[in-house]
Structure 1
Amino acid sequence: MYQQPIFLQPVFQERIWGGQKLQTEFHYDIPYQHTGEAWVISAHPNGPSVIKNGPLAGKTLKDAWEAYGELFHKAVDNDEAYPLLVKILDAANDLSVQVHPDDTYAREAENQPYGKTECWYVLSADEGAEIIFGHHAKTKEELQTMVADGKWDTLLRRVPVKAGDFVYVPSGTIHAIGKGIVILETQQSSDITYRVYDYDRTDAAGNKRELHLAAAVEVTTVPHQTPNYNQVETKEDGLTARQLVSEKYFTVYHWQLDGETEQVRQADFLQISVITGEATVTIDGQTFAVVKGDHFIIPATVDRFGFTGTAECIVSYPS
């Protein structure tokens, strides 16, 4: 029986808005001057993570999901894709204003298994940093007109953020991460983005990036709906666990570890990202050191594990 964490190697993505903070804040060996994203737990074909340890070392998470379903409590007849994707994003500049479709639209219009509902935990933010979250249009017709006329200041809702903030972004929500923000994103395993506005930026060849206005207007929720989610905090031994969100696609927690705790795995598998500090994971008498920037899965074959140290983690699993 597989009795160890599954550690994963990040996959880096170059982005026009990316920077260097994935190196300076997480000590990753980034390959690009404008590294915008680290896909840290990913089985998506556009950037599958490689397993770093154990008997599956060198295989991708996608390989493990498809060939070793018992690690995820996956039914033998389940042919769906791995459901979640975890990223760290460094917004050295503003991201484009965008929106994502739901599952139904993704399957019918894009022949993809999942739409994209996501959530953000803000790891750091410059003073005065803002996100775009939602819009002020009351009808689809008003949204279409304001987009066509470029009335961005009137249309878009801007919200200030700081380190430690959490934002839940259901599919159909117009959004953008602003300059000077680093986030950890937990999302459905989807790479479908409909770009609404990109500040008229051009790439190195002088070309503007493609917009997807018709599809964006079609999938946007109108009027904007700010989601409600109850955050519940529990304290046990050396662990303070705050449930950030629990909804249709995923459940996400913030863990503050100060000492020692023993955890019983209460989901099919757990995804854990260490965002500050260092700790040790103990499974069946074996210990594994983890530090800021490590990302790993507690598989379904591990019923309980010890966790000791001083660290913050974002923990997620499919709902």
Structure 2
Amino acid sequence: MERKLYPLKFEPILKQRLWGGTKLNTVLHKSIGEATDVGESWELSGVPGDVSVVSNGFLKGNSLSELLEIYMSELVGDKVFEKYGAEFPLLIKFIDANDVLSIQVHPDDKLARSRHNSFGKTEMWYVMQADQGASLISGFKKDTGKDEYLKALEEKKLDDLLASHEVAPGDVFFIPAGRVHAIGKGILLAEIQQTSDVTYRIYDFDRRDAEGNARELHTAQALDAIDFSGGGEYKTRYEATENEVTQVVESPYFVTSLIDLNGHELKKDIFGLDSFVILMCMEGSADIFYNDGQKESVTMGETILIPADLKEFSIKAADKCKLLEVHMPDVESEAKK
């Protein structure tokens, strides 16, 4: 009997960070042991050295890389596989900022390819929880010159140039490569990004690690990556409708929608997407029905990968549930460069 692909869960890859905390455990119920500085849970990763491993079903114990080698376009879609081959194109995370992260920027595809043989890093954030008064940085307040930027950096007055945004649950920020940004203290969020771990750290608030060492800064590298334009609308505006799918971000790298369910079953047909679908549970829980009545459940803080070959499924929530739905855009059918 042929064993078909099914909704896949993966073991979280937990990352201790200088700025990390305990919300991945206290809010999202992930097992972090005695650690008090866990900043990231990599939910779905194809990054070399940090490749996700399946935690459910008959494929349990297999890595995402192995699945791509075996199932290819059945897992990710024909056009996605043609473009990206055996490299999974997205990195999915939950981030707990118990302290402010460094002010940083990411290179675009062209710069990352030439310097690091890597994809660039465009990303988005969905705020799940925020302490009172918590804020983040995204972009410049106004168009800024390089000399003005370097002077502010030298005088440790970079905050004067950058746009700060107080946040609340449900806020969305799209961060294209080149935009200076930083997650602020007291924020728990979901992050969707290109598969890349390239970050240029601009300023780290003069922090020291446990050994008293300052983290490396990348002033010169960052200068070539930064988009110095400013004054735009940095927060993504959207109006969610209960029991429907609301698109919140559309980019060349991923499309993300919010599914807000309340005692409702939503039927999904992904045949036309030619892409895998990722579901991240932001609130509550839901059951995913597929292949004539088989079921997998997802609850707050969990992530699940729906293979492209699973053309139809439904999502049913007995009570209030919010999910982020992520898939690839209509990529051009071309060989990977």
Give the TM interval when normalised to the shorter protein.
over 0.9
Distance 1:318 1:227 in 2: 24
Please say if 1:58 is aligned against 2:65.
no
Distance 2:139 2:23 in 1: 27
Amino acid at match of 1:66: E
Structure 2 residue aligned with 1:118: 123
Which residues in structure 2 correspond to 1:98-177 (within 5 Å)?
98-112=104-118, 114-136=119-141, 138-177=144-183
CA shift at 1:232, angstroms? 6.6
> TM-score normalised to the size of structure 1?
0.93
Of 19, 22, 40 in structure 1, the residue corresponding to residue 21 of structure 2 is 19
Contact 1:35 1:90 in 2 (8 A): yes
SS of the residue 2:113 aligns to: helix
Which residues in structure 2 correspond to 1:1-319 (within 5 Å)?
2-31=4-33, 32-69=35-72, 70-74=74-78, 78=83, 79=85, 81-112=87-118, 114-136=119-141, 138-224=144-230, 226=232, 231=238, 239-258=243-262, 259-265=264-270, 266-267=272-273, 268-284=275-291, 285-309=293-317, 310=319, 311-319=321-329
Q: Deviations over 1:98-136 (max 9, x none)?
A: 000000000001121x11000000000011111011124
Amino acid at match of 1:67: I
Q: Deviations over 1:8-52 (max 9, x none)?
A: 121100100000000000111015320000001111124222111
Contact 1:143 1:217 in 2 (8 A): no
CA shift at 1:60, angstroms? 1.4
Distance 2:58 2:103 in 1: 42
> TM-score normalised to the size of structure 2?
0.88
Distance 2:253 2:277 in 1: 14
Distance 2:315 2:6 in 1: 13
Distance 1:218 1:148 in 2: 17
The structure in which a higher percent of residues are strand is 1
CA RMSD of aligned residues (A): 1.9
Amino acid at match of 2:137: I
SS of the residue 1:59 aligns to: coil
Distance 1:250 1:181 in 2: 23
Amino acid at match of 2:130: A
- Choose 60-69 or 35-44, whichever is displaced more: 60-69
Amino acid at match of 1:22: L
SS of the residue 1:308 aligns to: strand
Distance 1:20 1:182 in 2: 10
Structure 1 residue aligned with 2:332: none
User: Unpaired runs of 5+ in structure 2?
Assistant: 330-337
CA shift at 1:146, angstroms? 2.0
CA shift at 1:231, angstroms? 3.9
Fraction of identical pairs, as percent: 37
Contact 2:10 2:55 in 1 (8 A): yes
Q: Deviations over 1:140-195 (max 9, x none)?
A: 22222222332223222211111111101100010000000000001111100000
